[in-house]
Structure 1
């Protein structure tokens, strides 16, 4: 783990804060002085880092506020609505202490209004920065950072209301928002007066929600408010903790999302819900005590998902919707324009619970290995998910298995086995060499581009050393000590040979799958 930020003292001991490697600026305390400082943002990730990046108020004056009115005053007291500013929130914000303020911008009473502005960081100080029954509304704005804040119990009915019942709502021509280390919570669902925790609609683009806790709500969040609201996204969600949420984690209408390294616990009805053309790349997440965690639900307008490396821990699937299912099977290809490091799915509960949310010290994970080309997660339905703390197998590649419809031959075969059994898509049939070692090949009439293979063995078979040979060039392109997934620099070939160098038990290969990547 690593911790963002550092504490610096300015002249005379006044607290200061540096943001995004910009020179330290003196804090202006609107009410009271304090030695505590807000943690230092270290840079946006995911889609918020695209489209020119998200830097918030970096380079601007740092102002401290303890009421909602003071936040509005700081926003509207700038020389222009684009003048960079960092607002440290060091108190509890309520509807009662949040009044309308005008100036270089315009705000509203009873809601934190970031409207028609840009270049703002709103960041909590330590365990302060609590928004109690008051939402944060971002509208017609860009380059916004919301960090280390706790927003709770925002209602749209049945009591004091704020922001339409959303804890955080992004709406109408909003771009480049980084929401990080937040705690967003409700105390019930729509019948109790609550709406979404993190909603985006009417043209919201390039957003990242990271290291945040979303809990105790009927609705986690949506991207697109209706089937006609199709101009939103892309969005990245990573290292978030969704706990006791009924649905929408998130709901994607015609939007693309990269969803990785999140921990989902107790999803009541459904989880990730791409629909109406929505697309989700779902990697190395952990789902526990939940149901219908990935698929298209409550509509016939289908979405697309590509899944890999996810862990399912007591996950159920009901008759509602179109599911990814127990194998988390992908139904298409989803790509993102950046690379990232992924933590292993099995490690996500401990990592996320120690880093996510408000007041946790802005800790982050250094990640695991660089993310592979996205693929499908293909544990066979009914197989056991690795227990937490165990090594998650490499994700299976996506796309078409090029071995289906190809030819096969080999060095030898035992009675009752066949070369063709490794390319028939049936794991109940197999090839067995006449001895413990031998080789099996997949061949095509015209050259194919191959960048990964999957070797599957029957029960009792254990290959301990192997080579993969490109028969077109005669070169050994990969080696290994166990079966499973192997990726390599793509080659163009008419024939690939899997040579078993050593094995224990009786070698029986059930499938030799080949993929373009």
Structure 2
């Protein structure tokens, strides 16, 4: 008799605990999103670029992620949100705004587009808090861990899905993530990676999915056949009961994945779905491919796979396993280029590349993991040119020294002039939690970068903001949190920093301005 998921997790979780204690699990390098670009079906339908070309902001709480989304000029304004730290129910609240629709119990990407969420620094962990993508497009999620999201028990989030997509979602690339649970449905968990109700053009790459009753699905029921065009490549599925994934209708392409300890079933193609299954390595598993738990058949095209200690059940009314000698029963045409690693080296390649904290390493198609080399338009810095910390001032002359300043309000004991005196011990605060402060000159001055520096003890207070050309009213940048903010160079006489959200009373010690 099969042991319950909770019992089978004991050894795996013990190993994870040791890794966490030594810093392995959360050891993630500074990394910018999309270093080597989207792959698979996410490259179709116009492609997937996320927040490329937009503002980059840093977030250490779920609330700050929501504030960054809500602080944009519009719901399609590109933004990259660099996340560091643990995101959980305690630091994630609903934020309102014209460019967002958020919720307190999940990271909500709803009715928006052109967004990248990427883990940086010491790691980004979404703990018991799922990521929900709904009625949205052009989304990248990269280098993050999402763990122990529950649909029952306490706390609950996102219907129990680590990452869930539904309702008219287009072009999503999820890359180098770790998605994990600590049991099956009886322990309160659902799927790790779910797509339903018209979700298309999705790629899951170089990710680890483990320790769950359900890996994920495409389609919520036999009648939900509006989903598809999904690529899964170079992923590790480990200690999963079923749904690796479950396909209802549509087309999916699985190549160079390592499937290990699939306890009940693996790729479940049903309800008219077509699966192209190339050069995967199936190990210590049962019924890794076929149609299971339904009489509505799907189909598959297979080539180059290795079946290592795989067992197969006999066919029945509601089960049609592809093995013990899997053969193709359909053909699938793939519209994008891809290079296959030989299946024999897939376990080694996936071990060195899949999951968060792997330095965004990818395969070169010749069984050798490589660190991606950024292209001219990619934001990832070279090893000798580290990503600037938001608190590091830009090089050049601070144009605020000797300029003038004013604002909308100021708290007692503070002054507008304190933001341009070069003294971190003095500061300006608004009369409430929001307000504006400006730096101004007697003639047109070119500015392309500012640095907002919070007074000691108030770091992290500033939430959503806008940077505005006071003369024209144009929003130059928007986002969340203090630090360095860049935008296309503009000639102006007055620049305004508007604080539209905060977790307390902001204290701006310096409002530095730079030409370049």
Under TM normalisation by the shorter chain, which class is it? 0.5 to 0.7
Query: What is the alpha-carbon distance in structure 2 between the residues aligned to residue 327 and residue 269 of structure 1?
Result: 18
Query: Is 1:87 equivalent to 2:81 in the alignment?
Result: yes
CA change 1:127–1:251 in 2 (3 A) is farther
Q: How does 1:41-120 map to 2 (within 5 A)?
A: 41=34, 42-103=36-97, 104-120=99-115
Counting only pairs closer than 5 Å after superposition, residues 2-401 of structure 1 correspond to structure 2 as 37-41=30-34, 42-103=36-97, 104-319=99-314, 321-368=319-366
Deviation for aligned residue 1:153: 0.2
- Measured on the aligned residues, the alpha-carbon RMSD in Å equals 1.3
Q: CA deviation at 1:40?
A: 4.1
Q: What is the Cα deviation at residue 318 of structure 1? A: 1.1
What is the Cα deviation at residue 281 of structure 1?
A: 0.2
Other structure's SS at 1:129 match: strand
CA distance in 1, matches of 2:79, 2:240: 34
- Local SS of the residue matching 1:96: helix
Whether the 8 Å CA contact 2:33–2:142 is kept in 1: the answer is: no
Give the TM-score taking structure 2 as reference length. 0.64
Distance 2:250 2:182 in 1: 28
Q: Quote the Cα distance in structure 1 between the aligned partners of 2:121 and 2:307.
A: 34
CA distance in 1: counterparts of 2:289 and 2:239, whole angstroms: 16
Count of residues in Structure 1 that have an aligned counterpart in Structure 2: 335
Question: What is the match of residue 18 of structure 1?
Answer: none
Task: Indicate the residue corresponding to 1:395 in structure 2.
Answer: none
* Aligned-partner Cα distance in 2 for 1:110–1:172: 19
Residue in structure 2 matched with residue 471 of structure 1 by the alignment: none
| Secondary structure of 2:69 counterpart | helix
Please say if residues 176 and 205 of structure 2, whose CA atoms lie closer than 8 Å, have aligned partners that are also in contact: yes
Structure-1-length-normalised TM-score: 0.64
Q: CA separation in 2, counterparts of 1:368 and 1:353?
A: 15
Partner SS, residue 65 of structure 2: helix
1: CA distance, partners of 2:281 / 2:163: 24
Look up the match of 1:382: none
Q: Distance in 1 between matches of 2:158 and 2:72?
A: 24
CA distance in 2, matches of 1:167, 1:36: 22
Cα distance in 1 for residues equivalent to 2:358 and 2:263: 27
CA drift at 1:36: 7.0
Q: 1:167 to 1:205 in 2, by over 3 A?
A: same
Q: Distance in 2 between matches of 1:113 and 1:357?
A: 22
Cα separation, 2, equivalents of 1:326 and 1:308? 14
Matches of 1:248 and 1:296, distance apart in 2: 11
Distance 1:45 1:126 in 2: 25
SS of corresponding position for 1:164: helix
Note the residue ranges of structure 2 that are not aligned, 5 or more in a row: 1-27, 368-516
Question: For 1:230 and 1:237, how far apart are their aligned partners in 2?
Answer: 19
Q: In 1, Cα distance between the equivalents of 2:296 and 2:29?
A: 50
Q: Deviations over 1:344-371 (max 9, x none)?
A: 00000000011000011110001149xx
**8 Å contact 1:158–1:193 — kept in the other structure?**
yes
Aligned to 2:420: none
Secondary structure of 2:108's match?
strand
1:96: how far off? 1.1
Helix, strand or coil at the partner of 1:347: helix
Given that 1:96 and 1:110 are in contact with CA atoms closer than 8 Å, whether structure 2 keeps it comes out as no
Moved over 6 A (4+): none
Mapped to 1, the partners of 2:226 and 2:252 lie a distance apart of 13
Deviation per residue, 1:94-138 (Å, 9 max, x gap): 011100001121100010000000000000004411000000000
Please say which structure displays the higher CA radius of gyration: 1
In the TM superposition, what whole-angstrom CA distance separates every residue of 1:441-478 from its partner, at most 9, and x where no partner exists?
A: xxxxxxxxxxxxxxxxxxxxxxxxxxxxxxxxxxxxxx
Counterparts of 1:250 and 1:181 in 2: how far apart (Å)? Answer: 18
